[in-house]
């Protein structure tokens, strides 16, 4: 008998949970396998100098929506998402900034039989309870720097909570795609990258690593918000530098994953 899924996505108690939703993208292609419905939630505990969505992190813009409302919208794409081997990704900002809402949406998606993905810095990993993680198929984990001082200089926060979350996910054998933004002069220290690559390999649950070259495309948002953008003179990494860093991860057994 074919497996059937509920069309009533969220149990009543959770359907009413509300969250601040910055925006949605119905056909995302880079935030998990297949075609993704991506929900960008407002709010983040970090202050990354290269943030592409300062209007969802530094300034909490968005619309308050209930989990039921969001799940109803997602349900309209369910068959399409399933046909592409895709699913739903909660991103931001950081979805762990609004854990009750995130948990309710993840559960509702799973009830519809959809693959679920959490895109996070891990800085608020302690907000992800066991129940939430049980309804998460994949975590896209940004480790923004290996060196705690560099991490602090880049994000304003501490590295330790992210590593604790990474280790918790490893203990649960939860699949992780690690993301590393390569910024010349800030995150291009080869020794630190080599240490990070060994750490990622040692965890045992990291399925792939995406090395993402820093770019200036998000800068206009900083200008619009009158925020001080401190990376305006930082160049994008050369193809050679990006390739060199990808090679470090390749040596630890991670295949190339270039968007």
Q: Which CB atom, from 35 or from 51, has the smaller least distance to ligand SF4?
A: 51
Q: Which two tokens stand for residue 116?
A: 């679920």
Nearest 10 degrees: Cα torsion 60, 109, 177, 58: 0
CB 145 to ligand SF4: min, Å: 12
Q: Are the beta carbons of 45 and 123 closer than 8 angstroms?
A: yes
CB 144 to ligand SF4: min, Å: 7
Q: Which CB atom, from 45 or from 84, has the smaller least distance to ligand SF4?
A: 45
Q: Which CB atom, from 48 or from 206, has the smaller least distance to ligand SF4?
A: 48
Burial of 190 (0-12, 13-18, 19+ CB in 10 A): exposed
Q: Are the beta carbons of 107 and 10 closer than 8 angstroms?
A: yes
Q: Which residues bind ligand SF4 (CB under 6 A)?
A: 44, 46-48, 51, 53, 57, 92-94, 121
What are the backbone dihedrals phi and psi of residue 69, each rounded to the nearest 5 degrees, phi first?
-65, -45
- The two beta strands, 36-41 and 18-28, are antiparallel
CB 190 to ligand SF4: min, Å: 23
Q: Which CB atom, from 162 or from 242, has the smaller least distance to ligand SF4?
A: 162
Dist. CA 147–CA 66, nearest whole Å: 39
Long-range contacts from 221-229, C-beta under 8 angstroms, 24+ separation = 221/52, 221/53, 221/54, 221/55, 222/54, 224/55, 225/54, 225/55, 225/58, 225/59, 227/54, 227/58, 227/59, 229/49
Q: Which CB atom, from 47 or from 168, has the smaller least distance to ligand SF4?
A: 47
CB 236 to ligand SF4: min, Å: 17
Q: Which CB atom, from 160 or from 202, has the smaller least distance to ligand SF4?
A: 160
CB 7 to ligand SF4: min, Å: 33
Nearest to 211 by CA among 258, 147, 150, 154: 258
CB 161 to ligand SF4: min, Å: 12
Q: Which CB atom, from 114 or from 209, has the smaller least distance to ligand SF4?
A: 209
CB 45 to ligand SF4: min, Å: 7
Nearest to 182 by CA among 212, 147, 137: 212
Dist. CA 39–CA 65, nearest whole Å: 12
């Amino acid at each position: 008998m074919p497996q059937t899924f509920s069309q009533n996505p969220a149990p009543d108690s959770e359907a009413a949970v509300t969250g601040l939703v910055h925006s949605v993208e119905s056909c995302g292609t880079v935030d998990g396998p297949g075609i993704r419905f991506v929900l960008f939630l407002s709010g983040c505990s970090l202050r990354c100098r290269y943030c592409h969505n300062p209007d969802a992190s530094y300034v909490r813009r968005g619309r308050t929506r209930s989990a039921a409302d969001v799940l109803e919208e997602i349900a309209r794409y369910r068959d399409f998402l399933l046909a592409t081997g895709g699913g739903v990704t909660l991103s931001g900002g950081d979805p762990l900034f609004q854990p009750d809402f995130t948990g309710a949406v993840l559960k509702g998606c799973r009830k519809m039989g959809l693959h679920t993905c959490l895109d996070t810095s891990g800085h608020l990993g302690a907000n992800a309870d066991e129940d939430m993680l049980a309804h998460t198929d994949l975590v896209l984990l940004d480790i923004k720097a290996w060196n705690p001082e560099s991490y602090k200089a880049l994000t304003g926060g501490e590295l330790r909570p992210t590593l604790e979350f990474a280790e918790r996910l490893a203990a649960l054998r939860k699949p992780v795609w690690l993301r590393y933004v390569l910024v010349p002069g800030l995150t291009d220290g080869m020794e630190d990258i080599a240490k990070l690559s060994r750490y990622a390999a040692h965890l045992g649950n990291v399925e792939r690593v995406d090395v993402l070259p820093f770019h200036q495309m998000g800068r206009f948002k900083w200008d619009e918000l009158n925020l001080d953008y401190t990376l305006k003179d930082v160049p994008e990494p050369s193809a050679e530098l990006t390739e060199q860093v990808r090679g470090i991860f390749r040596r630890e057994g991670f295949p190339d994953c270039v968007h």
